[in-house]
Amino acid sequence: LDYPGDLTLAVGAADEFYYPSQFGGVNRVALDGTLIRIGGETGQPGYIEKPGDLACAPDGSLWVHDLKTEHVFHYSTTGVFLDSFPVTGWMLGLAVTANRVYVLTSAPQVMVYNWVGQQLDAWGRGTSLMFDRPDRLAAAPDGTFYVLESFVGRIRHLDSAGNILGTLTPVGGQGNLVYPKDIAVDGWGRLYVLDSAYRDRIVRFVDGRFDATFDASFFHSFTTASPFAITITGDSLFNMLSNGIT
């Protein structure tokens, strides 16, 4: 794998995974190790100069945010460019459902679009729901969402209309979160939090309660690589490490 650009990670329906390339576009790696680059041809439709966050929709298609143009790009499961549209505000996170695109911005808000780019709603600013320096956004299979606010060590749980269902602020005990930096949700709705404390670990929560921890660091060539991003599908948990190893 080449060294990744922005350290974000997504996984598709066939367990292929995607990560931003430092050379532009997004790398797609199949289970057999085959690598192709998507959106990496300069001057061609769908070119992404500086990829940011990315997410796979339930149908397996890929959505990518371009930090350079502040557009969201849509690609088929085979990497064919389909469409793009501009987003409002500096984008921090991305989540996609069967017919909606959710964009976490620095406003701070979650902007809601349909798949053709029409803005449908905005959660957060100017309402009782206020985020404190949010970082990441993750969609759960039951139609709810999680927003990570790593600076304050808090995770918001939102319903499908943007209302707060609960707030996770684990302090003390096995589920203690010190420096959370990424989140992911599996097909059963279990929440995974990447915490850079305790020599890097992943903490799993079920229904808002601590369930388990996993070691997330990786020792390679006498160097310990720290994970920067996680994603999950089925029974596979993927890490993106600082040296590009997954």
- Quick one: pLDDT at residue 12? 87
More confident of the two residues 13 and 65: 65
Instruction: State which of 89-98, 126-135, 208-217 shows the largest mean pLDDT.
Output: 89-98
Q: Judge whether 39 and 46 are in contact, CB under 8 Å.
A: yes
Exposure string (b/e) for 24-53, b if CB count within 10 Å is 16 or more? Answer: bbbbbbeeeeeeeebbbeeeeebbbeebbb
Whose tokens are 């959660």? That residue is 123
Segment 93-107 shows an average pLDDT of 94
Smallest Cα–Cα separation from 73: which of 88, 52, 90? 52
pLDDT at residue 149 is higher than 70? yes
Structure tokens at 225: 């690589």
Structure tokens at 13: 């329906």
pLDDT-based confidence at 14, cuts 50/70/90? confident
- Quick one: pLDDT at residue 217? 67
Share of the chain above pLDDT 90, in %: 52
Structure tokens at 153: 């060590």
Segment 165-182 shows an average pLDDT of 82
pLDDT single digits (tens) 66-79: 999 999 999 999 99
Cα–Cα distance for residue pair 175/115, rounded to 1 Å: 37
pLDDT at residue 172 is higher than 60? yes
Segment among 80-89, 127-136, 178-187, 189-198 with least mean pLDDT: 127-136
Q: How far is CA 81 from the centre of its chain?
A: 20
Exposure string (b/e) for 224-242, b if CB count within 10 Å is 16 or more? Answer: ebbbbbbbbbeeebbbbbe
Please list, in sequence order, all residues whose beta carbon lies within 8 angstroms of the beta carbon of residue 145, skipping any fewer than 6 positions away. Answer: 95, 102, 110, 137, 138, 139, 157, 158, 160
Share of the chain above pLDDT 70, in %: 84
What is the value of pTM for the model shown? 0.88
